Amino acid sequence: MNNQLLSTKLKELRKIHSYTQDYVASVLGVARQTYSHYETGKRTPNSEVLFVLAGLYNISVEDLMQLTMDIDRNIFYDAPAPTKSSEDLAGFLEYFGNPAIQKKFQHFSNIEKELLYYFNKLSESDKREIIEFTKIKTHKTQ
């Protein structure tokens, strides 16, 4: 991945969507200066940041990483309708963006956080079913 092309693409995408660096940095959970370094090429975003950026701009990670999108600055781009996965991502980011939640789950892996996020959306009976299923799966692997 060419870091200079990526930094240019990030800046163009941000401007097309009329986002500020502060806004994008807050979505990523990083300082504005860190995000600014992504746009200047001083730093390269890690894969998790690339995933969130792709979700923010509603493009595939492949398009963002391979830089396959051509952006015409003279054309106004309508944002595509949010997909279920982008709504899930937004909900996930909002939930774990809460400082109280962040502190509570700071030592959890991303997969554990994802499991808890969706588990909390289930009814009590569905939660019981999941727990029973997990017990069965645990006993089978031992």
pLDDT in tens, 90-105: 777 777 777 777 777 7
Give the tens place of pLDDT for each residue, 40-56: 989 988 888 888 898 88
Q: Establish if 72 belongs to a structural domain.
A: no
Average pLDDT, the chain: 79
What's residue 17's pLDDT?
Answer: 85
Q: Establish if 71 belongs to a structural domain.
A: no
Among 78, 77, 79, 48, which residue's Cα sits nearest to residue 64? Answer: 48
Residue 119 CB partners (closer than 8 Å, separation 6+) = 127, 130
Give the tens place of pLDDT for each residue, 101-124: 777 777 877 788 778 888 888 899
Give the torsion sign (CA, 95, 85, 110, 90). Answer: negative
Range of the domain at 118: 84-141
Spatial separation of the C-alpha atoms in residues 69 and 64, rounded to whole Å = 8
Q: Establish if 79 belongs to a structural domain.
A: no
Q: Establish if 37 belongs to a structural domain.
A: yes
Give the torsion sign (CA, 114, 117, 120, 123). Answer: negative
Per-residue H/E/C for 119-133 = HCCCCHHHHHHHHHH
Report yes or no: 53 and 42 within 8 Å, Cβ to Cβ. no
Q: Give residue 66's pLDDT band: very low, low, confident or very high (50, 70, 90).
A: low
How many domains is the chain built from? 2
